[in-house]
Each structure stands twice: as C-alpha cells, then as structure tokens.
C-alpha cells in the first residue's frame, strides 16, 4: 500500500485489504503468521562498532601517530619526562574521542524509548493488553487519553479525539482527529486528520485505529532510517589540524635533516649532529598542539555551561563559531510553546492583552494605547466575555503542580503551567490576567452540564446554575459557526439585535485577526430554563466577542536574531506550522521581511534538489514541512558552502540535527533522540543562548589561532637559530638539552594560557570566517614567518655578541642565546593576545593565567642559569647585568616597537575621525 494514500481511503476498504474484522480483530494464528512476515514492531538499528574497535581507531589519527613517534624518539634519548608527557597527551585524546563516539551510538536507543511499551488491542473479539513489539499490520488498537501511539494507524472511530503531534510535525496545538476519508492524496503529516502515528500522544478523547504499518515502516521508523543514513563528517577544526600536522611534520623533518647534513658536511661529529637533529625535531614538532586544543575547548565548554549551553562533543564549540546559517524550529525554540491570547474583539472594539505565556499577569488596553496610566475601561461585554472564557473551559492553571484552588488556600509555588488543552489554557490565562478566576466564579455558580467539543459541531457548551437557581449556558467555538447560532449581541447594559451589518463587522474583525496569524475563538452565552432541550441550549445565543491567540515569540529571540545578523549569520525558521502563522512569527522576529522569503512543504515537493539549491540562499522561512524536507534543506545549504547549525526539540528534527555541521537540541522540551543526535544542548531552550554559544565558539577559534601563532613562531625561531648557524659555519648556538628545555619552558604553560584568553570586544561584529578557510588565513602565516625569523636572528645576534664580549667564550655565548630565545618567546606571547591590537592595548594583566605562566617560565629559566646543580646539566654560566641588558633589549625590543606603532596608528585614526565629525 502507498503510505501517502491511506488517509484518502475508507477504513472499511483498508480493513478488507488487511483481512480483518473491525469488531473481532485478528485471530491469534493469523497474528503469528504476520509476525513471521512483518517482524516485531521494534526499530532496527545498524550494526554497532564494538567498544574495542572504537578505542583502537583513536590511535589511527595522523597526529596521534606523529606523537607516538615523538614518544619513541624522546625515550631513546633518555628524555623520560618528555616521553611520559607525550604519552599522557595520546591517552587523553584517545579517551575523549572514544567517549564521544560511544555516546553517539546511543541515538537509536534513545529513539526506542519514545515508542509505547504496551498496546491495547482487540483480538478474537476480546480486548487485551500486549507488548507493543507484538503488534502487526491489521491489528485493532484501542486508544484513550494519555496513550502513546504504538504504531501508525488509520483511525476508524473517534470521540473528541485529539493528538499531540509536536514531536513529528512541530505544531504546538493538539490535532483534532476524525475517521472520515480525506479526498486530497498529497497531504502533509499535519493535515492527515484520520491518521495517527507512532510515538505521538493522545491528549483528549478516545478512539480505535487500524494498524497499517509497524516498526521501520512507520513515520518514526523512517526518521530512524534517516538518522542511520547520515554520514558523520569531521569538523572544520579537525580538518585544519590534520592539514597543519602533516605540513609541520614534513617541513620540520626536512629542515632538521638539512641542519644535520650541513653540520656533517662542515666536519662536525656525526653523532653530535644526529643528537642535535633529533632534539630539534622534538622541539620543532608542536606535540602539545592537540592537548592545548583540547584544553581550550574544555575550558570553553565550562564557560558555555555557565551560559546554559551544554556541549556533548568538544569540536562543536569551534564549528558553531563558524556557522553561517542557524536553522531553527519555531515551536518552543523561537516561540514559547505557550498559546497566549493577544487580542480580544468585543463591543466593536479591539482590546490588546499585555503579558505573554502562562503567567497570569498582564493588562488590557484599547488597541494602539498601551500607556500604563490608561488601562482598558471596564465594560459589561468584556466582563461577560472573560467570564465565559474562564467557565467554558476544562483546563487547569497550575503553579508547579499546584492548582489555583490550592493557591487560594495559601499554597504559592514558582512556575505557572497549564494542564489540558492549550487553547483552553490560553483563554483561562487571559481571564486570570484581568482578575477573572474560574475558582472564584465557581463559588457563586456550579457547573451542572456540558456539551463537549465535537469536530462536526465545532463548539463546546457548559451549563452553570447560580445560587438563585438561574441557569446559563456558556458557549465557545468557531466564529462562523457561532454567528449562525447568535441572535443578539451584548452592549453596555442591554442586548441588541444582531443584524447582517453587525455580522459582517464581526467577520471582518475575524479575518483581520486571522491575517495576523491569530487563532480565533468566538464566545457567547444564553439564559436557559430548566426544561430546555439540548438543541435549545445552543441556539438564540448572545454574542460576546472574539479571542485571538498565538504561540508568541520568546522575548529574547528578536534581540538574539539581530545579533546573529550583525555577526553575519542567517537565521532560518523551519516549522510544521501553517504558512500564515510562520510568516507572522518570522516577521515579528525579523527573520523574514517579505513573503518571497517564505515557502511551504508542498512547494518544496515540487522542486528538485537543483531548484532548491538555487533558491535556498534567498529563503528564510519553511512552513508545513516534514522531516525529509528539513533534511533536504540542511543538505542544500551545505551544498552552497554554508556551515549549518540546526536547532530542534522533537523527533522530527533529529535527522537534520545530525546532518547539520552542528546540531543543537533543546534541554527542557527536547526528546532523548534529538539530544543524543546533537552536539550541543540548550539547557534553557532559549534561542538567545545560541548567540552566547556562537560568541564562545568564535573566541575559542581565535584562541586556537593565537597559540598556533605563538607555538609555530617560537618553533620556527628555534629551527632557524640552528639552521642559520649551520649555514654560516658557526658553532652550535644551542645544545640538544637546551633545545629541549626551551621547548618545555615556553611551549607548555604560556601556550595553554593563551587557549583560555578572553574574547576580543568586536568578536560579534565580524562576519563568519569562510568554511574552507585555512588556519593560516588572514595574514597568520606571514606573522609566523616574520616573527619566527626575528626570533632566530635575534638569538644568533646575541650568540655572536656573547662570543665577542670581553671574557666571552662558547658557554657564555650559548647561555645568552639560550636565555634570549626563552625571553623573546615570553615577550612574544603577549603579542599573540590579539591579531589587531598591540601590547599596550591588550591589557597585559587581563589574563591572570598568562601572567602566572610567564612568571613560572621565567623562574624556570633563571633556575637553569643560576642554580649550581642545574648549571652542569644545561651547560650554563651565571649572567651579569650587562648580559641581561643585551638579552632583554633584543628579546623585548620587537614587541615594544610593534605595540608602540599600533598605539600611535590607532590614536591617529581616532583624531582623524574626530576632525571629520
């Protein structure tokens, strides 16, 4: 059977095709045959990678192989401490990688938890409860309020049945179901009113359904298949580090080989030059780079946790920092997922209600007048309308699980919530905002009857009796239906005949509210007698007004979107809601300024991938879409070169979340499967938290560039010191043990401290970096080459000065060159705090970790120079003041001159700008 046409066929024909009697259900023998044919109703999962294979795979990474080689070299040289350090780095990276992969495998297990463990079925004429895994196509399932659907079913009986399909369609309001045939075949999931899907929840009513498909053939099963089919990709950071590692190793080995060959050619000892070459290779290859990246990311994770963003995969921090598009579901992410009455129409006037969400605090104002000193004048029609909104209602307004009745008894808690239908909840809250509480009204009036909502009647009525014995019917429903039942309208102190002109005015008000994407409900009442028949209760009504409601945007969402736009990030709304609703919310948030930026799922179905790719850069809102649409959208954006972040909460978002470069799930409303498929979880479900995550991601990448600049400049300086000395036929300016000491003193703590530096002030005013940008882009390679050359030449210059100074010898010259190289790097680390600001602008003490690292490195170097027991190990001699004057002038001069130049340049620009003004 074609899954898209079940809703277009009668359940009788489907039952005949499936060979089942709706009243008696399947025979047990037939169930056994179908279990063999269709299999159990469980979600299959692809073959898992064993934990051992996952762990072994961590050691196949190119940089890890290089680190293992460095460990062997250090061990052969007797540098046990260096070897232990490198091995610790290898094990740390392997464990982190293993944990990330192992947790990713949980995605399918989390999806399984969403399926119903049991189901009520009719078999051989008896109703019984069975494990949901034993369901087969053709089973008749019994559905009641609170049940989770165990399979995809064609509804055969509905009694006020409503189902929450938000996990599949993203629609915030429960969907009213029916059993009739829908003529149009190509309907989206949210419009198939006679179908119910696995994993969705019944919020009201009861019914029966014919199971049409189970397991992986269900809509949820299709999502599970899409999750499995998405291939994992490396992040930009991983790709850059892979590229950087290969480049550095080859370059360093070539230069080190040249140093050894040059020395041997000049007649130096082969053994001595071999040791020098190995030492230089160990120092030149930045074996600490992966560890510093990990530390920088881990510190960033801790900062983000404090800002309500929980990172599940470390590289996600960096990837989010280079995002160019954020695709977000509307319901609960950009909006509050709390239906709210925004506007009332009563007495020929529009009334606005302030305050959003379920908190019953707010005020009423005439439309266009929100001055706090002029609230809405009270009127009898308004009072009666709000009374009907509160009484013709079965929802409960709670405060952390405490009913309003409990609150009146003095039990006050914290957060407000609604139990029951969201539409009724919105009306209840709207009444409460004006001080009209159902619990107070029911002290004077008692409910004695109810005509529940029905999809055919499109209305609901309740009957109340007051203390005097008078009975009143309070009615709400669809405006067009209600107007046909109303004869009069309530004015100030009197009822007026509802003529055609007044009806046209009311319908015009309804249309106006509908164009604002408000869901409109009409309210009316009637005094009835004790002998009134059912038909009489809902006729001859007195019209009171209209209530327009919407799931409102989060207050912080618009500001967050503005920040995203300033940062060069395009926000995109992807939702299962109707086009008009999506367009209205997007317009209010500033996501879409024109209708041409909005497209529906039906229009997407008519476009092939190539057509979608051509338009995807112009579109900002996708309405009435399915999970497959979301996956296509993300893929199309990625094909256009975008780095895509996808936020989501429902099961429907999981495939796109996993396909995106960075998946972001909701911590409060998100399903387990989406959280497991994502790389980052928003603890507060707040879109604004994504802005904080972007800022932190950019800061992390900046810091990575800072310590790459620092490490490679320093390593290049060390290599050039040795290489140029060999070319110039000079004695070795540094001994192998001194090279390793420089590597230990300068490459560790200062580089790690750079990794936790604060973000620069203008970080969210920059455009995202190009997704394929090299880590050396924007002049970083030139900075490394220039500063590395200065470091090398400076050390050689001091070495020569040391040889020429009175009383100078090779040990003094080497000690001075040794100290110059160390302190040059410690000055340079301050330059690396910013790529655009000098040493006098960055704030030397703004990073206490860096200050501490410099202090420790300085102490270590002075210990190697002055402590008697260390001098024989490092072949150093004590230095005098004149020696330090030379060392500090050469080591600190470049940093001070560059900083002074930038400060003068900045001051000049500011003066020119001031004069222009």
Give the residue numbers annotated as catalytic, written as ranges.
329
CA distance 768 to 771: 8
Ramachandran category for residue 568: left, alpha or beta (phi over 0 → left; psi -120 to 50 → alpha): left
CA distance 812 to 179: 96
Cross-strand partners of 202: 163
Which residues have a Cβ under 8 Å from the Cβ of 472 and sit 6 or more positions away? 445, 463, 464, 465, 466, 525, 526, 527, 528
Which of 72, 84, 149 is CA-nearest to residue 115? Answer: 149
Locate all alpha helices (DSSP H) within 654-686, ordered by sequence.
Answer: 654-659, 672-677
Cross-strand partners of 528: 471
Q: Are strands 471-477 and 519-528 parallel, antiparallel or unpaired?
A: antiparallel
CA distance 114 to 899: 59
Cβ-based neighbour number of residue 179 at 10 Å: 18
CA distance 552 to 357: 8
CA distance 291 to 755: 10
Q: Are 428 and 397 in contact (CB under 8 A)?
A: yes
Q: Are 116 and 147 in contact (CB under 8 A)?
A: yes
Q: Taking the mean position of all CA atoms in its chain, how far away is CA 770?
A: 21
Q: Are 616 and 599 in contact (CB under 8 A)?
A: no
Which of 54, 48, 236, 215 is CA-nearest to residue 774? Answer: 236
CA distance 912 to 462: 75
Which residues have a Cβ under 8 Å from the Cβ of 914 and sit 6 or more positions away? none
Distances (CA, A) of 538 to 441, 481, 483, 495, 528: 22, 11, 11, 17, 10
Q: Are 266 and 667 in contact (CB under 8 A)?
A: no
- For residue 547, give the 3-state DSSP assignment: strand
Cross-strand partners of 326: 571, 645
Cβ-based neighbour number of residue 444 at 10 Å: 10
CA distance 743 to 19: 78
Q: Are 623 and 577 in contact (CB under 8 A)?
A: yes
CA distance 270 to 264: 6
Which of 185, 318, 61 is CA-nearest to residue 605? Answer: 185
Cβ-based neighbour number of residue 302 at 10 Å: 10
- For residue 520, give the 3-state DSSP assignment: strand
CA distance 121 to 126: 8
CA distance 525 to 445: 14
Ramachandran category for residue 632: left, alpha or beta (phi over 0 → left; psi -120 to 50 → alpha): alpha
CA distance 469 to 59: 83
Q: Give the single-character DSSP code of 392.
A: S
**Rounded (10°) CA dihedral 726, 727, 729, 733:** -40
Question: What DSSP string runs through 225-265?
Answer: HHHHHSPP---HHHHHHHHHHHHHHHHHHHHHHHHHHHHHH
Cβ-based neighbour number of residue 81 at 10 Å: 11
Q: Are 437 and 427 in contact (CB under 8 A)?
A: no
């Amino acid at each position: 059977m074609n899954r898209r046409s079940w809703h277009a066929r009668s359940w009788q024909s489907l039952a005949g095709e499936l060979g089942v009697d709706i009243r008696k259900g399947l025979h047990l023998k037939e169930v056994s045959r179908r279990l063999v044919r269709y299999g159990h109703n469980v979600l299959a999962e692809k073959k898992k990678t064993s934990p051992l294979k996952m762990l072994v795979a961590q050691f196949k990474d190119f940089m890890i192989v290089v680190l293992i080689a460095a460990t062997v070299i250090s061990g052969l040289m007797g540098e046990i401490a260096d070897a232990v350090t490198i091995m610790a780095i290898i094990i740390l990276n392997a464990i982190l990688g293993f944990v990330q992969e192992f947790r990713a495998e949980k995605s399918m297990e989390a999806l399984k938890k969403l399926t119903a463990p049991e189901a009520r079925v009719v078999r051989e004429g008896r109703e019984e409860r069975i494990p949901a895994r034993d369901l087969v196509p053709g089973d008749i399932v019994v559905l009641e309020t609170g049940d989770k659907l165990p399979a995809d079913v064609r509804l055969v009986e509905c009694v006020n049945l409503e189902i929450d399909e938000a996990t599949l369609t993203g629609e915030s309001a429960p969907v009213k179901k029916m059993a009739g045939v829908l003529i149009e075949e190509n309907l989206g999931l949210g419009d198939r009113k006679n179908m119910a899907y696995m994993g969705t929840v019944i919020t009201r009513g009861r019914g029966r359904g014919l199971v049409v498909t189970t397991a992986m053939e269900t809509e949820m099963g299709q999502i599970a298949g899409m999750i499995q089919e998405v291939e994992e990709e490396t992040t930009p950071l991983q790709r850059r580090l892979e590229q950087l590692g290969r480049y550095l190793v080859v370059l360093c080995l070539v230069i080190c080989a040249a140093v050894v060959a040059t020395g041997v050619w000049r007649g130096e000892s082969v053994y001595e030059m071999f040791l020098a070459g190995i030492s230089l290779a160990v120092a030149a290859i930045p074996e600490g780079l992966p560890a510093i990246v990990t530390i920088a990311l881990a510190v960033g994770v801790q900062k983000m946790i404090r800002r309500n963003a929980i990172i599940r995969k470390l590289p996600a921090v960096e990837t989010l920092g280079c995002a160019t598009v954020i695709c977000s579901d509307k319901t609960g992410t950009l909006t509050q997922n709390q239906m709210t009455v925004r506007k009332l129409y009563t007495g020929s006037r529009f009334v606005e209600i302030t305050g959003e969400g379920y908190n019953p605090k707010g005020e009423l104002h005439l439309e266009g007048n929100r001055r706090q000193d002029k609230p809405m004048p009270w009127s009898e029609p308004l009072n009666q309308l709000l009374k009907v909104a509160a009484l013709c209602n079965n929802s409960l307004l709670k405060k952390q699980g405490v009913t309003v009745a409990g609150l009146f008894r003095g039990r006050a808690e914290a957060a407000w919530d609604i139990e029951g239908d969201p539409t009724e909840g919105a009306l209840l809250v709207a009444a409460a905002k004006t001080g009209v509480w159902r619990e107070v009204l029911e002290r004077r009036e008692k409910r004695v009857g109810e005509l529940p909502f029905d999809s055919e009647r499109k209305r609901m009525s309740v009957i109340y009796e007051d203390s005097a014995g008078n009975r009143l019917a309070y009615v709400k429903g669809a405006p067009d239906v209600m107007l046909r039942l109303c004869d009069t309208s309530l004015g100030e102190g009197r009822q007026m005949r509802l003529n055609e002109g007044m009806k046209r005015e009311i319908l015009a008000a309804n249309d106006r509210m509908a164009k604002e994407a408000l869901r409109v409900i009409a309210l009316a009442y009637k005094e009835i007698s004790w002998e009134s028949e059912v038909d009489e209760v809902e006729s001859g009504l007195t019209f009171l007004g209209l209530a327009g409601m919407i799931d409102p945007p989060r207050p912080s969402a618009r500001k967050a979107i503005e920040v995203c736009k300033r940062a060069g990030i395009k926000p995109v709304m992807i939702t299962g809601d109707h086009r008009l609703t999506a367009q209205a919310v997007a317009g209010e948030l500033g996501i879409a300024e024109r209708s041409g930026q909005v497209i529906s799922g039906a229009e997407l179905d008519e476009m092939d991938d190539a057509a979608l790719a051509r338009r995807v850069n112009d579109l900002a809102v996708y309405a009435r879409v399915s999970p497959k649409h979301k996956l296509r959208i993300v893929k199309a954006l990625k094909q256009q070169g975008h780095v895509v972040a996808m936020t989501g909460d429902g099961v429907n978002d999981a495939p796109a979340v996993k396909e995106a470069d960075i998946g972001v799930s909701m911590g409060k409303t998100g399903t387990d499967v989406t959280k497991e498929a994502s790389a980052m979880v928003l603890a507060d479900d707040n879109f604004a938290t994504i802005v904080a995550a972007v800022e932190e991601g950019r800061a992390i990448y900046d810091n990575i560039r800072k310590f790459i600049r620092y490490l490679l400049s320093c390593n290049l300086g060390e290599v050039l010191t040795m290489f140029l000395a060999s070319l110039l036929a000079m004695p070795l300016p540094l001994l192998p043990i001194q090279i390793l000491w420089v590597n230990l003193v300068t490459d560790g703590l200062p580089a790690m401290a750079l990794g936790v530096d604060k973000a620069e002030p203008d970080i969210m005013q920059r455009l995202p970096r190009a997704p394929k940008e090299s880590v050396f882009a924007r002049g970083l390679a030139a900075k490394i080459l220039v500063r590395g050359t200065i470091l090398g030449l400076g050390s050689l210059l001091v070495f020569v000065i040391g040889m020429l100074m009175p009383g100078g010898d090779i040990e003094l010259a080497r000690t001075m060159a040794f100290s110059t190289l160390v302190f040059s790097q410690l000055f340079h680390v301050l330059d690396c705090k910013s790529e655009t600001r000098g040493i006098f602008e960055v704030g030397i003490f703004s990073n206490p970790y860096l200050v501490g690292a410099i202090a420790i490195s300085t102490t270590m170097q002075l210990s190697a120079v002055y402590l008697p027991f260390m001098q024989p190990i490092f072949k150093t001699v004590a230095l005098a003041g004149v020696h330090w004057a030379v060392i500090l002038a050469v080591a600190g001069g470049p940093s001070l001159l560059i900083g002074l130049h930038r400060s003068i340049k900045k001051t000049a620009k500011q003066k020119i700008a001031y004069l222009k003004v």
